[in-house]
């Protein structure tokens, strides 16, 4: 992929190779960049000519002046910090109950204040429109009547909830917490890859990564003017406050988790602690006369706002999946009666359906009469015969995704696929075209990572977290996920992905 | 305001930590006794120590390692620490991060030691590190967590477990001392005191003149020694009284009443009287009373039925 540029920038941009520190072992600093390739993808650290981007200058200097041993030591320190905090996941199928940390890359990814300002406006615009859209489709359905979004597309979505028809949602806030996946293309522009509007996770890693990075790179952190992220818990609390029913003078808030077995349990406990509210499981709650209570040592206590990290399907066995033991029987009725607020509302998944995604720019124009600030990725809807014909012709160059899947599953990455895999996907597409979309294979931008003592570029994305309550609140930055396997485009943690800290600079 | 499920977890965190600490200390004493006596079996003190832990008897060397690391045994130290940690995970938003990190670190160190133990079974260092780890956890708790309702569950669990463990150990030794044919062995009594970390405190109280009835008096009825049954009952009682007050559930006085009765019977107990009666029954009854306090605690605060708690 692209031509290999071996370090011309080093000589072009540095007065001379820095002297090795006395006594430092191992290869010199220049050779640490020996396998750094600049290719077609946008590189977050160097421009196309191989010169370091101005805002990455200090980071480069830090890397050049640190020995391999030093960097390795910092990586060990960082990994230990995650282990000590118990930020781990259990490896299934291992009877020793081995726990691993999520791979963490040491080097921060840096975004300028100007770049962030655009993202901030674009995300605000997008989520505002999405909330108007959700209100509309669950009430009068103007956008459907006017034919801007096909009725069949909405009603055939498996995350569309009939139960929400005509239900009034306090302040019309359906999505109060969103995690929007952005990628940066060759031209340096960020585009939206997908919206996560149900129970987006990962924000605790954004916070934990920052804590650890500050500790292992204190000097570097000081040389930059980085906007803080640590107040996310307070911002989330303020957002949830806006959802509380007005009739309740002193509302009670809880975080609802599926339990310790869930891979994001650490995050649920973390957010509950940050906000100072109880972390409850379904079995701690009960509904009586359409009021939700939790079992406390002082007896039953009424619950007013639930930040739920349980999917719609599992949240109430009486309304949705009857086999769910994670939910609260009767919760949906209490919700419909307006006696409890849920964040996010039920039925928001219809707006992050991968086929509906293609209509988000139209949705923004329809409700806000504005042009979208953040572009979408070009998307083929396989339900459309013309799109389908094109996609089936060009499977080897496209990415095909199942609309209801997430976590990097149910995907065909054309250029990395075998003829057999493409055949199998072709059959699945023809059998159920509504269930698939296709997009061109994107060249995700790459950021410098520490890989086996070498600095090498790896593909990254960015998931900022957008809060929508009394107003839109976005903590600058987000979670940068990185595909640590060389050449891989899949950043999901379930598939060999890791993460790194994201610094948004104050310009 | 405390979730019932979280209260349950807090209570078990400290019960399991107490059990781990107790086991680590008893095993340390047993291993030490074994070293002093060459390869021959002693008069049974070592057996008494191990059987008080309810571990299967096998070879002494491997027994100590098993007491620490046997995953199949729910009472092994590693099992106890593992369950304490799982409970801490469940109560993560209630305990401080410092407490969690201490417990998590202890667990990780112990797992690492398990790998080393098969090569060099220097169990004394394992014992020290468990005991210190648990003490540090208590200190961190004291310094970083509110002393409100959650803290009282930690106290109640820790001291109920301790009262039961000391009473059980006393019963194993004293049943033999007072009912059996052979008089108590001096070394056995010292081992008993050391198993409760009580040798120095005993000597300061009675001098180094170690006699069975005095040992009984000290471990059962001393008002100030932190591992005596009486002291443990008094802390458990005060924790339960606080729980009644803090939860606002006056109706839930049963646990408090039972703990108060146990404490009072020890406050007004006298060693001569107990020994003249049936010490074995007296000691096993203490275990039974602790179990009743536990059940009352659960009925009132944790597993109460919904219809008793619905708003009018």
pLDDT along chain A (507 residues), means of 10: 35 34 45 86 93 95 92 94 85 61 94 97 98 98 96 93 94 97 96 94 95 95 96 97 90 96 91 96 96 94 97 94 92 96 96 93 98 96 91 92 74 89 90 91 94 93 97 96 88 80 95
Q: Please count the residue pairs, one from chain A and one from chain B, whose beta carbons lie less than 8 angstroms apart.
A: 76
Q: Do B2 and A297 touch (CB under 8 A)?
A: yes
* Residue B115 contacts A where some CB pair is shorter than 8 Å: no
> Residue A457 in contact with residue A447, Cβ under 8 Å?
yes
> Residue B4 in contact with residue B68, Cβ under 8 Å?
no
Distance from CA of B300 to the nearest CA of A (A): 8
Q: Looking at the structure, do residues B172 and B312 belong to the same domain, yes or no?
A: yes
Q: Do B309 and A299 touch (CB under 8 A)?
A: yes
Residue B179 confidence (pLDDT) above 90 = no
The reported pLDDT for the residue numbered A2 is 37
Within 8 A of A283 by CB-CB distance, chain B residues are 5
Single out the residue of B108, B97, B90 nearest to residue B11, CA to CA: B90
Single out the residue of A301, A330, A280, A306 nearest to residue B310, CA to CA: A301
Q: Which residues contact B67 (CB under 8 A, 6 or more apart)?
A: B23, B27, B50, B53, B55, B73, B76, B77
Domains A251-339 and A378-440 share a fold: no
**Cα–Cα distance for residue pair B61/B71, rounded to 1 Å:** 17
The secondary structure of residue A290, as a DSSP letter, is T
The reported pLDDT for the residue numbered A216 is 95
Distance from CA of A280 to the nearest CA of B (A): 8
The nearest alpha carbon in chain B to A288 belongs to B310
Q: What is the number of residues in chain A? A: 507
Q: Looking at the structure, do residues B139 and B152 belong to the same domain, yes or no?
A: no
Residue B152 confidence (pLDDT) above 70 = yes
> Residue A493 in contact with residue A481, Cβ under 8 Å?
yes
Domain holding B77, by residue range, is 1-145
Q: Looking at the structure, do residues B65 and B189 belong to the same domain, yes or no?
A: no
Q: Which residues contact B139 (CB under 8 A, 6 or more apart)?
A: none
Q: Looking at the structure, do residues B177 and B241 belong to the same domain, yes or no?
A: yes
The nearest alpha carbon in chain B to A294 belongs to B3
Better pLDDT: B63 or A55: A55
Q: Looking at the structure, do residues B55 and B182 belong to the same domain, yes or no?
A: no
Q: Which residues contact B86 (CB under 8 A, 6 or more apart)?
A: A260
Cα→Cα distances A291→A36, A302, A337, A476, Å? 60, 7, 9, 37
Q: Looking at the structure, do residues B129 and B164 belong to the same domain, yes or no?
A: no
Q: In this complex, which of B3, B97, B108 lies closest to A278 when CB atoms are compared? A: B3
The reported pLDDT for the residue numbered A14 is 35
Token pair 């949240």: residue: A315
Domain termination residue (choose one: B123, B145, B167): B145
Residue B264: pLDDT band (50, 70, 90) is very high
Q: Which residues contact B257 (CB under 8 A, 6 or more apart)?
A: none
pTM of structure: 0.90
Domain termination residue (choose one: B145, B173, B188): B145
Q: In this complex, which of B4, B93, B100 lies closest to A296 when CB atoms are compared? A: B4
Distance from CA of A68 to the nearest CA of B (A): 27
Q: Looking at the structure, do residues B9 and B122 belong to the same domain, yes or no?
A: yes
Q: What is the number of residues in chain B? A: 312
Distance from CA of B73 to the nearest CA of A (A): 15
Give the burial class of B109: count Cβ atoms within 10 A of its Cβ; 0-12 exposed, 13-18 middle, 19 or more buried.
middle
- A86 backbone φψ class: left, alpha, beta (φ>0; ψ -120 to 50): left
Q: Do B93 and A279 touch (CB under 8 A)?
A: yes
Please say whether the dihedral angle defined by the alpha carbons of residues A71, A76, A81 and A83, taken in this order, is positive or negative: positive
What phi, psi does A49 have (nearest 5°)?
Answer: -80, -5
Domain residues of chain A, as ranges?
251-339, 378-440
CATH topology of domain A251-339: Rossmann fold (3.40.50)
Q: Looking at the structure, do residues B159 and B137 belong to the same domain, yes or no?
A: no
Q: How many domains does chain B have?
A: 2
The reported pLDDT for the residue numbered B115 is 80
Residue B111 confidence (pLDDT) above 50 = yes
Residues of chain A that touch chain B, judged by Cβ-Cβ distance less than 8 Å: 83-86, 260, 265, 269, 272-273, 277-281, 283-284, 286, 288, 294-301
Q: Looking at the structure, do residues B141 and B241 belong to the same domain, yes or no?
A: no
Residue B252: pLDDT band (50, 70, 90) is low
Query: In CATH, what number does A378-440 get?
Result: 3.30.1490.270
The nearest alpha carbon in chain B to A274 belongs to B93
Residue B158 confidence (pLDDT) above 60 = yes
Residue B123: pLDDT band (50, 70, 90) is confident
Q: Looking at the structure, do residues B88 and B31 belong to the same domain, yes or no?
A: yes
Q: Do A273 and B93 touch (CB under 8 A)?
A: yes
Residue B231: pLDDT band (50, 70, 90) is very high
Q: In this complex, which of B93, B104, B108 lies closest to A278 when CB atoms are compared? A: B93
Q: Looking at the structure, do residues B11 and B152 belong to the same domain, yes or no?
A: no
Residue B21 confidence (pLDDT) above 80 = yes
Calculate the average pLDDT of chain B.
89
Q: Looking at the structure, do residues B111 and B171 belong to the same domain, yes or no?
A: no
Residue B118 confidence (pLDDT) above 70 = no
The reported pLDDT for the residue numbered B57 is 56
The reported pLDDT for the residue numbered A7 is 35
């Amino acid at each position: 992929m692209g031509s290999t540029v071996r370090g011309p920038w080093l000589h072009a941009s540095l007065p001379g190779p820095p002297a090795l520190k006395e006594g430092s072992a191992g290869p010199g600093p220049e050779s640490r960049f020996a396998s750094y390739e600049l290719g077609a993808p946008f590189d977050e650290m160097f421009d196309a000519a191989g010169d370091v981007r101005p805002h990455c200058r200090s980071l480069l200097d830090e890397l050049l002046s640190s020995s391999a041993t030093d960097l390795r030591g910092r990586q060990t320190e960082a990994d230990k910090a995650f282990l000590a905090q118990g930020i781990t996941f259990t490896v299934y199928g291992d009877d020793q109950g081995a726990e691993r940390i999520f791979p963490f890359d040491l080097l921060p990814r840096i975004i300028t204040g100007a770049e962030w300002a655009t993202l901030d406006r674009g995300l605000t615009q997008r989520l505002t429109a999405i909330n108007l859209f959700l209100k509309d489709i669950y009430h009068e359905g103007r956008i459907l009547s006017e034919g801007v979004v096909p009725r069949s597309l909405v009603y055939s979505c498996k995350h569309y909830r009939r139960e929400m028809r005509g239900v009034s949602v306090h302040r019309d806030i359906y999505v109060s917490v969103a995690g929007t996946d952005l990628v940066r293309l060759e031209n340096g522009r960020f585009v939206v890859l997908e919206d996560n509007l149900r129970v987006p996770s990962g924000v605790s890693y954004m916070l934990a990564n920052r804590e650890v990075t500050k500790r292992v790179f204190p000097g570097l952190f000081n040389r930059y003017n980085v906007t803080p992220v640590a107040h996310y818990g307070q911002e989330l609390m303020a957002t949830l406050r806006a959802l509380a029913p007005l009739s309740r003078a002193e509302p009670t808030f809880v975080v609802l988790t599926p339990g310790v077995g869930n891979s994001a349990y650490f995050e649920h406990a973390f957010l509950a602690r940050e906000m100072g509210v109880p972390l409850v499981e379904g079995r701690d709650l009960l509904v009586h006369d359409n009021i939700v209570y939790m079992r406390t040592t002082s007896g039953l206590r009424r619950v007013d706002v639930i930040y739920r990290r349980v999917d719609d399907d599992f949240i109430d066995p009486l309304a949705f999946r009857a086999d769910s033991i994670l939910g609260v029987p009767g919760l949906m009725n209490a919700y419909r009666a307006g006696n409890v607020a849920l964040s996010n509302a039920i039925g928001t998944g219809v707006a992050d359906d991968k086929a509906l995604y293609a209509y988000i720019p139209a949705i923004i124009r329809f409700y806000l009469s504005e042009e979208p600030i953040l572009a979408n990725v070009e998307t083929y809807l396989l339900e459309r015969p013309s799109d389908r014909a094109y996609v089936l012709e060009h499977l080897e160059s496209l990415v095909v995704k199942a609309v209801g899947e997430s976590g990097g599953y149910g995907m065909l990455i054309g250029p990395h696929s075998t003829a057999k895999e493409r055949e199998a996907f072709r059959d699945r597409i023809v059998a159920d075209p509504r269930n698939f979309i296709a997009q061109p294979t994107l060249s995700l931008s790459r950021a410098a990572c520490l890989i086996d003592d070498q600095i090498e570029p790896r593909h990254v994305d960015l998931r900022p977290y957008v809060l929508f309550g009394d107003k839109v609140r976005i903590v600058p930055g987000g979670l940068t996920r990185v595909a640590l396997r060389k050449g891989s485009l899949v950043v999901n943690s379930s598939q060999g992905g890791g993460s790194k800290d994201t610094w948004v600079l104050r310009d | 305001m405390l979730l019932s499920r979280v209260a349950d977890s807090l209570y078990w965190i400290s019960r399991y930590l107490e059990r781990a600490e107790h086991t680590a200390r008893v095993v340390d004493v047993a291993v030490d006794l074994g070293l002093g006596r060459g390869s021959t079996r002693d008069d049974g003190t070592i057996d008494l120590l191990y059987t008080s832990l309810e571990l299967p008897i096998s070879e002494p060397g491997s027994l100590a390692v098993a007491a620490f690391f046997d995953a199949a045994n729910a009472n092994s130290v590693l099992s106890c620490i593992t369950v304490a940690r799982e409970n801490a995970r469940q109560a993560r938003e209630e305990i401080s991060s410092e407490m969690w990190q201490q417990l998590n670190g202890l667990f990780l160190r112990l797992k690492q030691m398990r790998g080393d133990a098969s090569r060099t079974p220097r169990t004394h260092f394992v014992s020290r590190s468990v005991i210190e780890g648990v003490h540090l956890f208590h200190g961190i708790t004291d310094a970083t967590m509110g002393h409100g309702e959650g803290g009282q569950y930690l106290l109640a669990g820790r001291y109920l477990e301790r009262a039961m463990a000391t009473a059980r150990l006393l019963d194993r030794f004293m049943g033999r001392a007072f009912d059996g044919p052979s008089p108590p062995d001096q070394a056995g009594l010292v081992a008993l005191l050391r198993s409760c970390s009580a040798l120095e405190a005993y000597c300061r109280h009675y001098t180094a003149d170690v006699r069975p009835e005095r040992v009984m008096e000290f471990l059962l009825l001393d008002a100030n020694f932190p591992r005596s049954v009486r002291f443990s009952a008094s802390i458990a009682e005060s924790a339960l009284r606080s729980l009644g007050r803090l939860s606002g559930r006056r109706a839930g006085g049963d646990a408090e009443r039972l703990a108060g009765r146990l404490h009072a019977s020890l406050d007004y107990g006298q060693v001569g009287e107990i020994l003249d009666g049936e010490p074995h029954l007296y000691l096993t009854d203490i275990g039974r009373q602790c179990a009743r306090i536990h059940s009352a605690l659960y009925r009132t605060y944790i597993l109460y039925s919904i219809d008793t708690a619905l708003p009018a």
